[in-house]
Amino acid sequence: MDKNKSLTDVKMHYCTGCGHSVIHRIVCDVIDELGVREKVVAVAPVGCAVIAYEYWNFDVTEAAHGRCPAVATGIKRVLPENIVFTYQGDGDLAAIGTSEIIHAANRGEKITVIFVNNGVYGMTGGQMAPTTMVGQRTATSHKGRDITRDGFPLKISEMISILDGVKYVERTAVHNKEGISRTKEAIKKAFNVQLNNEGFSMVEVVSLCPVYGAKSIKEAYQRIDDTVTKVYPLGVLKG
Amino acid sequence: MTKAKKILITGNEACGEGAVKAGCRFYAGYPITPQNELTAYMSRRMLEENGVFIQSESELAAVSMIFGASLAGARVMTTSSSPGISLKQEGISYLAGCQLPAVIVNIMRGGPGLGNIAPSQADYFQSTKGGGHGDYYMVVLAPHNAQEMFDFTYEAFDIADKYRNPVMILSDGALGQMMEPAFVDRKDKAKGRKQKNWILNGCKARKPRVIRSLYLKDGELEARNKDLQKKFDKMRKDEVKFERYKTNDAKLIMVAYGTSARIARSCCDELRKKGKAAGLFRPISLWPFPYKQLESLDKGKTKFLVIEMSAGQMVEDVNLAIQDRKRVYFHGRMGGGIPDEKDIINLANRILK
Ligand SMILES: Cc1ncc(C[n+]2csc(CCOP(=O)(O)OP(=O)(O)O)c2C)c(N)n1
């Protein structure tokens, strides 16, 4: 038995109500339950989760902004027996790293991607992300996201789910109990896809930033139910 | 002596074979002229050797892939030409920051911008003065024939591992595409290589490891940088390489590397035939630059003629070595132009007058 649990004792720096703390816990629980901690090599992003290595009790590296899937590709090809996953925000994955995620998925890399969609750039002060809702105010969309200038929320999960190399894609949310347990099941499924050597797997977790983009956590939760999950419907997209 | 035979091979392929023999089993790259033969060669050789070849979606991705493969313990290489090397600067800075060994090859072409596909040496500054962000250096080796394309690449992997730092092979389109005889069958270092003791491969029977370049705590990053600088100082001391050709009695010493050095060498021979005391100093490690070794050739009246396929980049380092700038002359061609022997000999004659 592996007695060292996947989460360290270090107190997380995340703001109260931040989705990252919850999602870290879920990922670590899954790794513990699968008993694969000693096989994991994780790739942390540039974003609020940049110091995830403080909280994760397994091997971790940290990629340049957006490049996690390419770094994970390199690791997994050298260590096909290991479990390699990336953990990325929506700026990291859906803006600067769009090319890397699409092509890693299309090559069918046997890696798992945890895609945290909180609708903003948390770390740099709440700027608009590709996933920001139409009309949503952010530090760089003062009058709200305007489709004539900023385009529409980008649907990366839908985009990659049509690719042949992709085995499993699911979108979940973590703003309520059911969502949390569904997220855990999805992440477990995604890791199992990798363990069984089946192909690329990704879970998009609709999360929230308690500081930027909403006046209160309550409002952020409300937006997830009212708008975010309408634009980004939850469920299995592939697999 | 072994029975090794020379074969006819392009510089690009000699470079690839040097990597394979050095134990490189992970290559990622994106096509760009004039280094396409190298990518194609690696695609074939990685298949034959059971290694990994990935034609990446971009140079940004290629360098990130070798970043991942390097931290997982493989000997890794990526290659490109000037515009692609610009994209790789992000990854090179991260490799240096994370202390990861890797070999990066630049088969230079004309710039700036898309430029052209003719040979050039205009990426000297980018390679030797830190093309990416932050305080870092890497050993930069400049081959001048197919044999050195093989030898230096073969050796680069050891240097990269020794310092846990990227190493660059800086060559150009002429050297890459020209065919020459070379020995390319050295011992294959893939066999019996010990596993590195710092890699990420799962924390079985050990504590988890972290490979990162982020240091946020007060003073932490400065301390990290001081450690890196110690490493760079050691490279400055131990990794200087150069060649001297007929410099002992030379009144005029040409300073050139790569393709320019080949032209300079034949100019020296021509001048010698006419009784003119010309010699060549060829820096092989462009970083660390052989400042002292060049300086030691200055007898007070010696003239120096720097020849480059650029507007004058290495000449700045020569000026650091030779304090009396009045005795340092420069001849350069840009945008794919190749220095002409006649022009150089005429200039040399004028300088020696
Ligand atoms: C090349 C580069 N560009 C920009 C940045 C600055 N930056 C750091 S984090 C970040 C956005 C992160 O947002 P997201 O991926 O949504 O993650 P979150 O912080 O919301 O969890 C940006 C733009 C950087 N570090 N590197």
CATH number of the domain to which B43 belongs: 3.40.50.970
How many structural domains comprise chain B?
2
CA distance B229 to B135: 8
CA distance B91 to A207: 30
Answer positive or negative: Cα dihedral of A54, A55, A61, A62. negative
Answer positive or negative: Cα dihedral of B17, B18, B20, B26. negative
> Are B222 and B325 found together in one domain?
no
Classify residue B25: in a domain, yes or no: yes
For residues A86-100, give the mean pLDDT: 98
CA distance B328 to B255: 10
> Are B175 and B29 found together in one domain?
yes
- Among B189, B218, B238, the domain-final residue is B238
B52 touches chain A (CB under 8 A): yes
Check pocket membership of A118 for ligand 1, CB cut-off 6 A.
yes
Instruction: Determine, for residues A99 and B72 on separate chains, whether the beta-carbon distance falls below 8 Å.
Output: no
Q: How many angstroms separate the CA of residue A10 from the nearest CA in chain B?
A: 14
At B152, give phi and psi (nearest 5°).
Answer: -70, -35
Check pocket membership of A121 for ligand 1, CB cut-off 6 A.
yes
In angstroms, the first-to-last Cα distance of chain A is 31
Answer positive or negative: Cα dihedral of A160, A60, A32, A73. positive
pLDDT in tens, A36-60: 999 999 999 999 999 999 999 999 9
CATH class of segment(s) A19-238: alpha beta
Q: Which residues contact B20 (CB under 8 A, 6 or more apart)?
A: B42, B45, B49, B51, B188
Instruction: Determine, for residues A74 and B91 on separate chains, whether the beta-carbon distance falls below 8 Å.
Output: no
Instruction: Determine, for residues A78 and B208 on separate chains, whether the beta-carbon distance falls below 8 Å.
Output: no
> Are B269 and B232 found together in one domain?
no
CA distance B67 to B78: 10
- Among B238, B270, B289, the domain-final residue is B238
CA distance B168 to A80: 28
At B304, give phi and psi (nearest 5°).
Answer: -125, 135
> Are B32 and B139 found together in one domain?
yes
CA distance A217 to B289: 58
CA distance A184 to A176: 12
HSE on the CB side for A62, CA within 13 Å? 22
CATH number of the domain to which B324 belongs: 3.40.50.920
Residue B292, H or E segment: helix B291-295
Instruction: Determine, for residues B73 and A78 on separate chains, whether the beta-carbon distance falls below 8 Å.
Output: yes
pLDDT tens sequence for chain B (353 residues): 456 799 999 999 999 999 999 999 999 999 999 999 999 999 999 999 999 999 999 999 999 999 999 999 999 999 999 999 999 999 999 999 999 999 999 999 999 999 999 999 999 999 999 899 999 999 999 999 999 999 999 999 999 999 999 999 999 999 999 999 999 999 999 998 899 999 999 999 999 999 999 999 999 999 999 999 999 999 999 999 999 999 999 999 999 999 999 999 999 999 999 999 999 999 999 999 999 999 999 999 999 999 999 999 999 999 999 999 999 999 999 999 999 999 999 999 999 99
B299 DSSP 8-state letter: -
Classify residue B164: in a domain, yes or no: yes
A60 touches chain B (CB under 8 A): yes
> Are B146 and B273 found together in one domain?
no
> Are B167 and B39 found together in one domain?
yes
Answer positive or negative: Cα dihedral of A175, A176, A182, A184. positive
Nearest to A50 by CA among A65, A69, A35, A40: A65
User: 3-class SS at B316?
Assistant: helix
Residue A6 CB-density burial (10 A; 0-12 exposed, 13-18 middle, 19+ buried): buried
Residue A89, H or E segment: strand A83-89
A15 DSSP 8-state letter: P
Instruction: Determine, for residues B211 and A74 on separate chains, whether the beta-carbon distance falls below 8 Å.
Output: no
Residue among B52, B58, B203 minimizing CB distance to A77: B52
Residues within 8 A of A (CB atoms), B 83-102 only: 90-91, 94, 98
CA closest to A52 among chain B residues: B210
Q: Which residues contact B41 (CB under 8 A, 6 or more apart)?
A: B12, B13, B16, B17
Nearest CA to ligand 1 atom 24: A65
Nearest to A58 by CA among A79, A78, A33, A84: A84
Cα pseudo-dihedral B314, B318, B321, B322, rounded to 10: -170
Strand positions, DSSP E, B81-153 = 102-108, 139-141
- Among B238, B258, B291, the domain-final residue is B238
Domain range spanning residue B346? 243-352
> Are B275 and B345 found together in one domain?
yes
Residues within 8 A of B (CB atoms), A 140-159 only: none
Nearest CA to ligand 1 atom 26: A65
> Are B173 and B53 found together in one domain?
yes
